[in-house]
Amino acid sequence: MEPALLQADQLPQWAALAPALALAVTGLLLVAVDSINPDDSQPALLAGIATVGSLTSLGLAGWFLSAGTGQPGTGGAIALFGDALVVDGMALFFQALFASVTALVVVASYDYLSDNPHQAEFYSLVLFAATGMALMAAANSLAVAFIALELASLPSYALVAFLKRDAGSVEAGLKYFLIGALSSSVFAFGISLVYAATGSLLLPDVYDALAGGPEGLTGVAAVGILMVAGGFAFKTASVPFHFWAPEAYEGAPAPVSAFLSSASKAAGFAVAFRVFVVGFPLDAGIDWVLLFQVLAVVTMTLGNFAAATQEEVKRMLAYSSIGHAGYALIGLAAFTGGAGGDVLGASMAHLLVYGFMNTGAFLFVALAEHWGVGRTFDDYAGLASKAPMASVAMSVFMFSLAGLPPFGGFFSKYFLFMGAIDAGFWWLAAVGAVNSALSLFYYSRVVKALWLDDVVGEFELGSTPTALYAAIVFAAVATVLLLPGFAPVIETAQSVATTIVP
């Protein structure tokens, strides 16, 4: 193999955090630009800075990933700040995912926010939330995990309530904030219990302490692990901490819904994967694999059934997003120790594909909101005759989310279910497959409305928002190309997942 372009000995160690730093610096830059003349917001400049920043982060993460930074080939994971942060393949994989979604969302927001004041605040909040997510992926200590989670969550609360004249948006923000605060405290309390039992916050040390056998405090550690799992269930919108999600996704500005349901959810999984796989041995007083099996089955079933009964597209997407959290949970639910990297990697690959197809779907909703066509399936009737390209893209997202073969979602689901079967949990895959088949019903309702239903009444769409359109089309192209190009994705995901398994 060609010598890596960037290796640990050529650049200072902290340079490995460059993808996260790029996001943070961009966020600060946005604040600085806005402070020069707060009354004269320049949407194009702000959106441009945010886009360049997130693309830079994507480029850095992709570069590091292909150069092998922090991976076994170049000396293994790079640990920083007293091992509190660790940059390895998995961190970079997720950072690339967050940066892609952030870029899409930022580009799409330019048109969505065109008449809104406080644009600089919007973009900088998105970028700071993305920074938090990037740190979540690299957190190697429970304290950092908590801080990064809060860094990602606090801007999100504000973003959900961003349309402050819209009662729905404000209500959604409030609900999201209250439940978020509650689950944060549960999470923090869980961490303190784990600390009490193990005497460390660093994940590898926690693992060693818990793997050492019962020392009297395993019961405390078990309760702590349970509470930590609760914190993640909130962030990933998994049952039983899911009920904020439909409200928040529905009330939030659609690009924010896209951001939350794709990037924020993936961030929750990133930190959950690392904390549980690296930090908690399988027999640490509680069978957390069993816990996640229950969560996965309940989450995917509840999400899918609830999605099937919705009348509004955005709400349907919100519930289907809960269903997809259930699929992604299979990564932990079918984890069996040593050989668990494959199913974990499949979960990560699914989250990457999901990042594109789900973001795209919410951006289409943003487009519909921009045009003011309404929210229900019926309101979407005949939209294809007015906006054919966007409708093609939306159909691609829907079929891909349902897991139909010509699209990326098929492979990611297939490998997920196959990974579960390989790990011996064929019933988990069966539940997933049945859910997936059911989901075709409600996803195809959108396609039917777009293409097959006749327009009810005349409506004129306004001007075409170029940036939003471009973001949607780009997401669709990515969703399609992820099928033939799935080899590097799944191989990268599985190889980087394998390295975190102790």
Residues that bind another protein (CB under 8 A): 342, 385, 388, 399, 404-406, 410, 415, 418-419, 421-422, 433, 437, 440-441, 444, 447-448, 451-453, 483, 486-487, 490-491, 494
Q: How far is the CB of 422 from another protein (least distance, A)?
A: 5
Name every residue whose Cβ is closer than 8 Å to that of residue 133 and which is 6 or more positions away in sequence. Answer: 94, 98, 148, 152, 263, 264, 266, 267, 270
Both tokens assigned to 174: 């409030």
Q: How far is the CB of 320 from another protein (least distance, A)?
A: 18
Angle (CA) 377 381 387, round 5°: 115
Side-chain-side CA neighbours of residue 3 (13 Å): 5
Name the one residue in this structure whose structure tokens are 């997130």.
54
Q: How far is the CB of 276 from another protein (least distance, A)?
A: 22
Closest to another protein by CB, 287 or 491: 491
Could you tell me the CA-to-CA distances from 20 to 15, 314, 489 in Å, in that order?
Answer: 10, 30, 21
Q: How far is the CB of 41 from another protein (least distance, A)?
A: 37
Left, alpha or beta for 305 (phi > 0: left; psi -120 to 50: alpha)?
A: alpha
Closest to another protein by CB, 388 or 502: 388
Closest to another protein by CB, 36 or 487: 487
Closest to another protein by CB, 214 or 388: 388
What DSSP string runs through 79-131? EETTTTEEE-HHHHHHHHHHHHHHHHHHHHHHHHTTT-S-HHHHHHHHHHHHH
Closest to another protein by CB, 274 or 445: 445
Side-chain-side CA neighbours of residue 223 (13 Å): 9
Closest to another protein by CB, 215 or 491: 491
Single-letter code of the amino acid located at 464: T
Q: How far is the CB of 406 from another protein (least distance, A)?
A: 4
Closest to another protein by CB, 276 or 410: 410
Closest to another protein by CB, 354 or 410: 410
Q: How far is the CB of 323 from another protein (least distance, A)?
A: 17
Q: How far is the CB of 482 from another protein (least distance, A)?
A: 12
- According to DSSP, the β-strands at 78-80 and 85-87 are antiparallel
Q: Counting beta carbons within 10 angstroms of the beta carbon of residue 37, is it exposed (0 to 12), middle (13 to 18) or buried (19 or more)? A: exposed
Q: How far is the CB of 405 from another protein (least distance, A)?
A: 4
Task: Indicate the helix (H) or strand (E) that contains 78.
Answer: strand 78-80
